[in-house]
Each structure stands twice: as C-alpha cells, then as structure tokens.
Amino acid sequence: MKSTQTPMLLDGVAVAAEIKSEVAAEVAALRSSGLQPGLAVVLVGAVPASQIYVRSKVKACSELGIASDLLTPPESITTEELLAIVALLNARDDVDGILIQLPLPKHVDAKRVLDAVDPAKDVDGLHPMNAGLLQSGRPALAPCTPAGIIEILKRKQIPMAGQNAVIVGRSDLAGKPAAMLLLAENATVTICHSRTRDLASFTRNADILVAAIGIPGYITPEMVKPGGVLIDVGINRINDRAEFDRFFAGDTAREEGFAKRGYTVVGDIDPRAFALSSAYTPVPGGVGALTIAMLMVNTVHAARMRRAFSHSEAR
C-alpha cells in the first residue's frame, strides 16, 4: 500500500543552517554584553572518525563566534588523569561547555569521566542529573541528536501532540532522550528495541517513527505506516556490493559515489520505505546534520544559564 501524497524531504542541512544563523546572532549579542561562550572538547588518542567530528565542531565554533579549546591527551591516558583534566575544565570560568569525544579507549572508565563533567557544562546532555531533569520535564541540556529531531519537526510544522510516536532503540544518547522530548510535546510514545517481539506490529502504527538502532535498513517498507513520518537517526557505512544493490539498485548518483569511494552510507530505515511516508529525513543530510548545530545551541544556552544572562538581557 502506497502513500497517496508526495513525501516531504526533511532537509537537515538547511535546518542546521537556519539554527546556526540564529546562534551566530545570539553569540554576537552576548559578546556585545561582555560574554563569549566557550566550548572545550577533549579528544583522546587518534581515532580518524573522531578527529573528523571534532574538526567539524571546532570549525562550527569559529564560524559562529564561540571560543573553542581542543585538548588532545594521548591514548595512554588513565582514567584518573582524564578526571583531572575534567576537573580543571569544570573550574575554568571561560569554559561554558565540555564535550568528551566518544568513544574513549577501552581502558578508560567512560561512565566515570562523563559523570564527572559539571552538569551545567554538560553540552552532550549525558550527565545523570540532566537525564533526570529531562525525564521530569524540567529545563535541561538535552542530547544534541534528539534535540535536533524535535527542532526539525517543529520547523517543518509536523504535529507531535496526540501522535503515536514509536522509537526503535533505547540508547542514552538517542532513543531514551528522544522519547522524553516527544512526550514533552504531548506525543504518545512507545519505546522498542532489538528484542521487541513482533516489532512490526508497533512500527506499523507509528505516526512518527524514529529509528535509532544502528543496524542498516533494519526498518523495512513492510514495517512502516503509509503516510507516517520517518526519522532516521542511523548512519551506517556499507561497502559490500550485494548490500549496496539491496538498498540502492538503480540509483545512479549513489552508484557513482560507491564506485569512487568504495562505500556509501545508509540509515536504520530501508530507503525504499521513504516513498511510503508523508515526510522523512534522508541519510546523509538528515538528523546527523543537525547534531553539531544543536551542540552550538547547547553551548550558548549553558553560557547564558551559568552567567544568569537571559535572552532579553543579552540584547
């Protein structure tokens, strides 16, 4: 059964550009009042993917007028040594946001390190205090990807109140906070995961389906509700020819990219399901594009809250 309408592509790149423009204006206003928001990023070791992500974050800070400080301790750093770095950043008045780039080396106790970050500077929204505030419906620094989901739905005027929202995935970084944020928008939320029995019976009733399980094409066309909104959080690299053909056979643009790079990316939703939807986020160019923009939002929010600057005072 096909949707009777042409699906709306929810362009995360365009929405991220809007958000960054707004943040740049806020930063300019804050700086005119004597405050420059500052973000400290801790990158342990030399993981290529992490280095790319961090460069993008530092670049965004520079573009928007946010001060940034990149700390690059060696991969051999101990948990105690990393905790000492976090303590120093907590104490620095010029640092409003602290981001610990994940993953950390296996010998480092990541939970201890993340829990050591001052909740007021926790721009990744991973501290238990911020998670608790989010769950109780109080103002909190929310994880950037789920916050981006809410932003794109609001800005594209997609209703959430009263809608059946199904989240597939229960991570602390995406699934759980996405559920809390959708609840705050008065959606009726169901959380599913890899061990949910008869998963399709839930997903086929989803007005808004958020896939955040980390498995390529896990949600098939038969599992979606015609006319539903599909939010794909997954970014999975595939380099197998058979898997490529499964998702992208006949897609000339993808074929050219695959031939050149030897891989392409696919989300957690089979891209063939998008044709059934009323709106969807593509991969790439969807939710992932919003994550850095929301990090910038959180950094400015943390700066204002820490220094008791309201939006009106900044102006």
Active-site entry in 101, 121, 225, 232: 101
Q: Which residue has the tokens 């789920």?
A: 146
* Residue 163 appears among annotated catalytic residues: no
User: What are the CA-CA distances from residue 16 to residues 80, 286, 290, 296 (Å)?
Assistant: 37, 9, 5, 10
Is residue 9 within a helix (H) or strand (E), and if so which, with residue range?
Answer: strand 8-9
* Residue 124 appears among annotated catalytic residues: yes
Burial of 130 (0-12, 13-18, 19+ CB in 10 A): buried
Report the distance separating Cα 261 and Cα 108, nearest Å. 33
* Residue 157 appears among annotated catalytic residues: no
**Residue 91 near residue 40 (C-beta atoms within 8 A):** no
**Residue 258 near residue 244 (C-beta atoms within 8 A):** yes
CA 150 to chain CA centroid, Å, is 10
Whether residue 284 is preceded by a cis peptide bond, meaning omega within 30 degrees of 0, is yes
- Residues paired with 38 in a beta bridge: 67
DSSP helix/strand/coil, 154: helix
* CA dihedral for 218, 221, 223, 226, sign (positive or negative): positive
DSSP annotation of 269: B
Q: What is the DSSP string of 77-125?
A: --HHHHHHHHHHHHH-TT--EEEEPSPPPTTS-HHHHHHHS-GGGBTT-
Active-site entry in 96, 118, 122, 124: 124
CB atoms inside a 10 Å sphere around CB 245 = 13
Total residue count of the chain as it appears in this document: 315
The Cβ-side half-sphere exposure at 71, using a 13 Å CA radius, reads: 18
> Encoding tokens for residue 224?
């979606």
Catalytic site residues?
Answer: 57, 101, 124
